[in-house]
A and B are shown apart, each in its own frame.
Chain A
Amino acid sequence: MAAIPFPRRRPGRVSLARREALWGYAFLSPWVIGFLALTLIPMVATLAFTFTNINLAQEEPLRFVGFENYQRLLADPQTWQTLGVTLRYAAISLPVAMILPFALALLLNSRSVRGTGPLRVLYFLPYVVPFVAGVLIWQGMLNGETGWLNAVLRFIGIQHPPNWLDDPSVVYPALVLVGIWGIGAGIIVNLAGLRGIPTELYDAATIDGAGWWASLRHVTLPMMSPVIFYTLTLGVVDVLQYFLVPLVLNDGTGAPAGTTLFLNLYIYKTFFTYQDMAYGATLAWFLFLITLAFTLVLFWGARRWVYYAGAR
């Protein structure tokens, strides 16, 4: 019996799968090129900078300095002060940034609240205002003399309301207030998570005699744990990179008394104001390593409390 000839591929033609893969790479390439050009290569370059004496004035010839910049970082009190500022602010702002959007999303998801559609829009609306414009508006609102906030406090009888932006003891709550401006996105993420929880779980819990609190604790929180983990991780990364608000609100001076000189702001100033690129790059890598450490700890801990319903 003669063998049936195997159909040969026409020369110069690529298979469908290969063609699809090529198209896939073609569509991916803008991101890959962008990532290489704007992220990975600059990252590698900054790592190289950390071992040099590169700066804008470059009064000395460019040379390899080994770990000098890292030694300087460890001995630089400003590094630890600015890290302390960042962590102190994180301790205040992170719980607010986590709990408030979750609580508001719970409220908006409740059947007993009417007008949730317009409320969702209202909560999200500030998020679409350019952030710098929002910060400038807050600058006016928090002004100790003429700000609306203090006008309200005076109206209700507080004769000497705090000087929000100039008093070290109240500046962090003021910054948290500014941060609340942008919780619309957090509400939407939480709301999407809440909407994804199967209602039969609540029905089963109700049959088992669970009240509101028990349902929240034993159904909502476990089912929302991936969303909470996601927002927590992003929140930690965001707060470690906190920058724009103090830059705009206090012109990046760190006023009052250095309490708004965050680590990321110090990095920016070291680069652009003090023009010390090598040390700025070292500080940037320091921040990267801190962020990485926090993120790894979060991922390690997530195994204990994050529940993925679909996971095997």
Chain B
Amino acid sequence: MTSRRIVALLAVVPLLLAACGGPTSNKTQIRWYCCLGGGDGEDQVKVEEAVVAKFNASHPTIKLIFEHQPYEAAFDIFSTEISSDNPPDIVGPLGIGGGNAFPNQWLDLTDLIAEHKYDLSQFPANTVQIYQFGAEGQIGIPFAYYPSVLFYKKSDFTEAGLNEPPHKLGDKYTFPDGTQADWNYDTARKVALLLTVDKNGKDATQAGFDSDNVVQWGYEPQRDDMRQTGADWAPGKLLADDGKTAQIPDAWAASWHWFYDGIWKDHFAMTGPQFESPDYNPSDYPFFTGNVAMSANYLWSTYGVGDLGEDWDIGILPSYNGTVTAAFNADTFRITKHTKHPEEAWTVLTYLLDDARADLLGTYVGMPARPGEQAAFFDTLSANYKQKVDWQVAIDSVKYADVPNFESPMPHYNKAFDLIDQTYSHWQSTPGLDLDKEIADLRDKLQQLFDQP
């Protein structure tokens, strides 16, 4: 062999070794997949990577690999990984709906919980039940909650000469003339009209109000999913208890009427094109840029209120038929049923849920599932905001959580979600609809879907 060939061989061998990953490690590799829910923010990824580094430093037999994808692409990539028999071991943070989008993909933790004597009694029983999915078993352990609250911009109320919304259930709303009213959606509508302002400074109750040139809107419901809008009025689900029948809860229909009229008649809520417009809503939710006075949203949405400075607080959501309901999101981590290393995945899962929870809950702005840790969590959160935010509202809102949760499973979940997404988008961009007929049509289409094998 010539010396040139030997040199070439010496050059190629290390490259081949490097390409093959070098000497093999005895560590079991566990892949943590993110971000089918939250967790893909730049700052969040830094925290998650730090958690992974800490885990790897303290666990000599497991190598945790963090695989994060932006939310927009995460569903497709996860589907591809499962279908190509290359699924990750742990997925999260993952909401209830995100999990439902992948039925039959999650490991039943019942045996691992029993084997490791994991104490589920530290969580309220109803929160544990959220993750009990019939034949699929206990597919999750409570981790973080995001109750809905009413964010409001304080200066908008001051400028309009209005009192701020109540912070406690049962407190009445006081109008400028001293009259008091129950804090329900009728009252919220009246306040929203007073807070909706056109470019000439007229509010929506005044003659000559120019609805084509609104510059400040009074109320923004959570519109990511029409079920959420409904669930802020009353708990419900689109599938009846018989598991076959499509249903539209009356309160949800009422909420959709209220919102639809709010867009097209009262003009206190943005139209679909306005909501989609980067001019009015450049950063996910219009409340973030100060264009909306009141906004029903989850606790996680505090990620976007930074630009409002100290000019915001949270109040209690309006009541419907005398009852307050706060739709809630819940995140946790799940083990995929395809994992080849359930024991090691369990070690990682409990590390994320327990050891790393302070870091992760902090970055996700998730309320701890353990009630005893909630006060400390909000103390930490308060340090981020100079004004005194009334976090007690969020703590109280858990009591009014929507049970059953609006994201409850239904047959052909992804198709049904697609259908309601299209429907809601249509309503928000089309005036003059017969909404009762639209709602009846939606129910019929859902039924057709549920009837499919």
Contacts and interface: CB of A to CB of B under 8 A. Distances in A.
Contacts of A140: 277-278
Contacts of B421: 253
Given A140-B278, A144-B273, A166-B430, 8 more contacts: A56-B79, A57-B102, A57-B105, A143-B276, A145-B277, A253-B425, A257-B422, A275-B83
Nearest to B413: A274
A145 B418 contact: no
A270 B139 CA distance: 26
Nearest to A136: B278
A139 B83 CA distance: 33
Interface of A: 56-59, 139-140, 143-147, 163, 165-167, 253-258, 269, 271-275, 277
A261 to B, nearest CB: 9
B115 interface: no
B127 interface: no
A275 B279 contact: no
Nearest to B417: A273
- Main secondary structure on A side of the interface with B: loop
B426 A272 contact: no
A91 to B, nearest CB: 24
Interface in B254-294: 271-274, 276-280
A163 B429 contact: yes
B443 interface: no
B415 interface: yes
B277 A255 contact: no
B79 A255 contact: no
Contacts of B14: none
Interface residues of B, number: 29
Contacts of A146: 273-274, 277-280
Given A143-B277, A145-B271, A163-B429, A57 B104 contact: yes
Contacts of B184: none
A273 B414 contact: yes
Interface in B284-339: none
B103 interface: yes
Contact of A255 (B83, B280, B422): B422
Nearest to A252: B418
B425 A145 contact: no
Nearest to B76: A272
Contact of B272 (A166, A258, A272): A166
Pairs of residues from A and B, 7 with the lowest C-beta to C-beta distance, nearest first: A166-B429, A144-B273, A146-B279, A57-B104, A146-B277, A145-B273, A255-B425
A253 B79 CA distance: 18
A13 to B, nearest CB: 19
B75 A273 contact: yes
A56 B103 CA distance: 9
Nearest to B82: A56
Contacts of A274: 412, 414-415
Nearest to A164: B273
A272 B425 contact: no
Contacts of A272: 75-76, 79-80
9 contacts: A57-B105, A139-B276, A145-B277, A253-B418, A256-B430, A257-B422, A272-B80, A273-B75, A273-B415
Interface in B101-140: 102-105
A163 B431 CA distance: 12
Contact of B426 (A58, A143, A147, A257): A257
A252 to B, nearest CB: 9
A283 to B, nearest CB: 14
B139 to A, nearest CB: 13
A274 B430 CA distance: 27
Interface in B343-390: none
Contacts of A166: 272-273, 425, 429-430
A163 B429 CA distance: 8
Contacts of A58: 104
Nearest to A57: B104
Contacts of B426: 255-257
A188 B280 CA distance: 39
Contacts of A256: 425-426, 429-430
A145 B274 contact: yes
B274 A57 contact: no
Contacts of A165: 273, 276
B413 to A, nearest CB: 9
Contact of A59 (B104, B277, B280): B104
Contacts of A254: 422
Nearest to A257: B426
Contacts of A143: 273, 276-279
B418 A273 contact: yes
A57 B280 contact: no
A184 B314 CA distance: 52
A269 B76 contact: no
Nearest to B431: A163
A252 B191 CA distance: 36
Interface in B80-105: 80, 82-83, 102-105
B273 A163 contact: yes
B422 A275 contact: no
A148 to B, nearest CB: 11
A257 B104 CA distance: 31
Contact of B102 (A56, A253, A258, A271): A56
Nearest to B274: A145
A188 B83 CA distance: 41
A268 to B, nearest CB: 9
Name the residue among A163, A254, A255 with the largest chain B CB count within 10 angstroms: A255
Contacts of B430: 166, 256
Nearest to B272: A166
Nearest to A269: B418
Contact of B103 (A57, A253, A273): A57
Nearest to A59: B104
A163 B428 CA distance: 12
Interface string B55-83: 00000000000000000000110011011
Given A145-B271, A253-B422, A272-B76, A56 B415 contact: no
Nearest to A277: B83
Contacts of A269: 418
B351 to A, nearest CB: 28
Contacts of B102: 56-57, 275
A71 to B, nearest CB: 13
B429 A145 contact: no
Interface in B150-189: none
A58 B105 CA distance: 9
A185 B430 CA distance: 37
Contacts of B104: 57-59
A258 B421 CA distance: 12
B429 A56 contact: no
B98 to A, nearest CB: 13
